[in-house]
Amino acid sequence: MSSRADLAAPQTLHLRRFDIMDAHGFDQPVPAASLLAPADWTIQGGVAWGANGYSLCLTDIVTSHALLSSPDGRYGFEILPPRAWLWSRDQWQVQTMRQLAATRQSCPVAPPTGAAQALQQLILPAFRPNARILATEPDPAAADALRQEFLPLASARPQSQVQAEAVRLRLAWQGFEEWLTGGVAVISFSALSPSQAMQGSMGYTQNFESYLQNMFGFRAPAGQLDAAQPVLATILGSIRRNPAWDAAAGQVLANIANVARQGAMDRAAIWRNAQAQIGEMQRQSWQYRQESQDRVARAFSQVIRGVETFVEPGGNRVELTAGYGHAWSNGLGEYIVSSDPSFNPGRRLNGTWTELRPGPP
């Protein structure tokens, strides 16, 4: 039985649940999300609050960065932290945004861009500085899932739109090949124009919020990435957020936004109106970003067609690595898949194992 060696379809694969922990955000460590991976892999990192120092940009306040890796380090799955930036067609507003960003009271300022360009400009230099891009593939299913999650937020604001794009970059670096996924959602909305207000007239401009998120990297030794894709699909398809953590984190961020708005009450009306809109957009988009991560991950796992659905005794559906035909669960977050119909996990592992029945996709 294998949970470690070459992931090119071992006869039997042992998977278990890993928790991505928020160790310091609340009174006690809390799982923020969970996923399935080979049982003998290890996990590093998790959720961090204020990892980038004091900032009122919400993607800096709380970030998720975790790496799961095989014992020999040859295979790995990484969740990379999101990025956000702002822009406006009103140059006076851009100047205001830059002044706030310089004192870390807002997100960085830059025009909207596509997903591939954002990954190349923001992620590769920070996390894969020596990587070569072998291929770039659009991911329309992930882009559609991302856009759908942001539509309710946009529809609540007059003259708002959401555009989304998602891609997969195939990278080569330090003897690895890797699929790096990522998507950009751009929310455009009408806002009062500070430039026109300064001239004593009332007018509107268009502001933009860009979010680069749902970034997952799956690496394998050069030449082994394609064979390991079913395991990648299983990991991605199994990502689940913890609703209790989402609700608690969302409340903390709402409180931070409220404090920030209160602190801005002494500023000029032009500043106050513009920043109130931006801050509220960032706070509300938090929940949509968390919900979209699950959906986008599942969309990608379905695209690469590497998973098979099984049904547990209680009716819970679980997507496991395809091609094995048989699956078992011990009810404790561990699963076995095997292509051997005579395999009996109870003979090799402790606990009670129940065979799962195949389910519809």
66-79: pLDDT as tens digits: 999 999 999 999 99
Residue 235, pLDDT > 70, answer yes
Residue 7, pLDDT > 90, answer no
Bridge partners of 38? Answer: 15
Cα–Cα distance measured from residue 178 to residue 220, given in angstroms and rounded to the nearest whole number: 6
Alpha-carbon torsion angle 254, 279, 23, 336, nearest 10: 100
Task: Determine the pLDDT at residue 299.
Answer: 55
Cα–Cα distance measured from residue 142 to residue 301, given in angstroms and rounded to the nearest whole number: 10
Residues 2-19 have a mean pLDDT of 70
**What share of the chain has pLDDT > 90, as a percent?**
40
Residue 258, pLDDT > 80, answer no
User: Which of 1-5, 134-138, 227-231 tops mean pLDDT?
Assistant: 134-138
φ and ψ of 353, to 5 deg: -115, 130
Strand 317-321 versus strand 326-329 pairing type: unpaired
Judge contact between 185 and 214, C-beta under 8 A: no
Judge contact between 111 and 87, C-beta under 8 A: yes
Contacts of 128 (CB under 8 A, 6+ apart): 171, 173, 178, 180
Alpha-carbon torsion angle 349, 352, 357, 361, nearest 10: -70
Enclosing H/E stretch for 292: helix 269-303
Judge contact between 54 and 22, C-beta under 8 A: no
Q: What is the pTM of this model?
A: 0.82
Cα–Cα distance measured from residue 250 to residue 218, given in angstroms and rounded to the nearest whole number: 29
